[in-house]
Amino acid sequence: MPDVPNPVAAFIVREIRRGRGAAGMTQEAFGRGAGFSASHVSAVEGGTRALTADFIRGADRALNSGGLFERLAGELGTPSWFLPWLDAERGATQLRYFEPNLIPGLLQSEAYARAVLRLDPCLTDEEVDRRVASRLERQAVLTRESPPRLVVVVDEGAIRRVGDEAEKLMAEQLCHVLACAERPNISIHVIPADAGLHAGLSGPLSLAHMPDGSWIGHLESQLGGDVVERPADLDTLFERWESVRTEALPRKQSLDLIKEVANQWT
């Protein structure tokens, strides 16, 4: 399933189906309340169609559950505020990411993702495990048939930042990035430290180009994240993107720098 790890998605689908049955609703009646056709509901319940954030929210509406299923998705692996962006990420034909401090989630190794998630003191070990699984599941979008074009820009600080005794972890992560960069649909660029101050230092940004030609943006903060769709806001994000992309090294020079840093940790 594209939005949440497969075991979590299967569990949520079963609970939705159970709730529909308890309410005495046919798939057609449920679909009317949720905003989907009966055939769509049948496909989701049968496991032949992906469980999406829109379907989860529709189920909450149809069953008057007070947001129960959206909260389940968050508790069991994916924060609810992130689900709309996951919908966009999975459907996009092109993705653009800028990160000033970390390697983006789509390029994270399992060990690196776990180390990053453990920085949140509110997460239990079980929650960390679920979120790591969810993050790795997301990466399947890059290896599917007709994958999106991914362009990533990171600040040099993101490839040099390590914790105590974490040199081996970072070396493995950078080797993973280099392996990803070998795929024809992935381009990775680094803004060198000597570029000095630049617009991207105010925070990360993401952009997704959809099949209908529209763009969707995403911004994360300490408290969550927001999907950006207003034209004026998207214009601002594009200006920031063009600024950081201009500051970044060409692809080959970027990869050479990543290799150089990786060799320092081995």
Predicted local distance difference test score (pLDDT) of residue 123: 77
- Domain of residue 140, CATH code: 3.30.870
- The residue behind tokens 């974490």 is 166
Model pLDDT, residue 167:
84
pLDDT for residue 111: 93
Name the residue among 5, 228, 48 with its Cα closest to residue 138: 5
Question: Could you report the per-residue pLDDT of 78-121, keeping only the tens digit for each?
Answer: 655 566 677 788 889 999 999 998 999 999 999 999 998 888 88
- Strand-strand pairing, 186-191 and 205-209: unpaired
User: Of 155 and 226, which is predicted with more confidence?
Assistant: 155
Average pLDDT taken over every residue of the chain: 86
**CA triple 121-110-186, angle to 5 deg:** 120
Model confidence at 49: pLDDT above 90 = no
Q: Are residues 103 and 16 in the same domain?
A: no
Under 8 Å between Cβ of 203 and 236? no
Average pLDDT over every residue of 174-200: 92
Write down the pLDDT at residue 252: 96
Determine, yes or no, domain membership for 128. yes
Residue ranges making up the domain that contains 46: 6-75
CA separation for the pair 64, 219 (Å, rounded): 30
Residue that finishes a domain, picked among 16, 47, 75: 75
State yes or no: pLDDT of 2 exceeds 50. no
Same domain, 70 and 88: no
